[in-house]
Amino acid sequence: MGTAEFTYNNKVHSSTKTSPFKANYRQNPRIEFKVRKKGKYKGVGKFVTKMKEIQKEAKTALGKAQKEMKKYINRKREEVNKYKVGDLVMLSIKDLKYQMVSRRTEKLMERFVDPYKVKKIILANVVELELSSTIRIYPVVNVSRIHRYIGQVEKQRKEQPAPVIIEREEE
């Protein structure tokens, strides 16, 4: 275990651009053994300033790495919609596909089904829905699986088109 720890601490890391030994002690460890002299060391002042400089560089490199990571992690993040108890939402069919096998091809299926009421807010991004008994999934879902229900425009009717008649037969 000691050898693995030594190897890890002696390796230059991509985020700090230096090894942990160098960041903490200003130099990489010596592998050979030397006897220390007793007494005061005259280069302490230089050592302290060099250490502060190395730590400042490492801190700057870490800050830059954090900015890069944050930029890439937040590329597809969106602001979470705020839901209230009683709001109507549409449920994604991603978890319902196997229950809807007999319906039609996946390509033609709706992406979201039926408006359901929000029964309870568990967390900012987790809600419990009032689901019908025909849907066999756990009623607690992440907000990424629901969208706010927008009703039809007033005076707009949802009419089924008339059947097409070909050679006196309905299709």
Q: So where are the chain's domains?
A: 2-73, 88-148
| Cβ-based neighbour number of residue 87 at 10 Å | 18
Q: Which residue has the higher pLDDT, 105 or 47?
A: 47
User: With a threshold of 0.85, does the pTM exceed it?
Assistant: no
Cα separation, 169 vs 35, whole angstroms: 104
| Cβ-based neighbour number of residue 77 at 10 Å | 7
Structural contact between residues 85 and 119, judged by C-beta atoms closer than 8 angstroms: yes
Please state, in angstroms and as integers, the Cα–Cα distance from residue 3 to each residue in 23, 87, 117, following that order.
19, 59, 59
Sign of the CA dihedral running 85, 89, 95, 101: positive
Cα separation, 66 vs 58, whole angstroms: 12
Q: Could you tell me which residues are beta bridge partners of residue 165?
A: 170
DSSP one-letter code for 154: T
At 21-76, the pLDDT tens digits run 888 887 777 666 666 666 677 778 888 889 999 999 999 999 999 999 998 888 87
Task: Check residue 37 and give its pLDDT.
Answer: 65
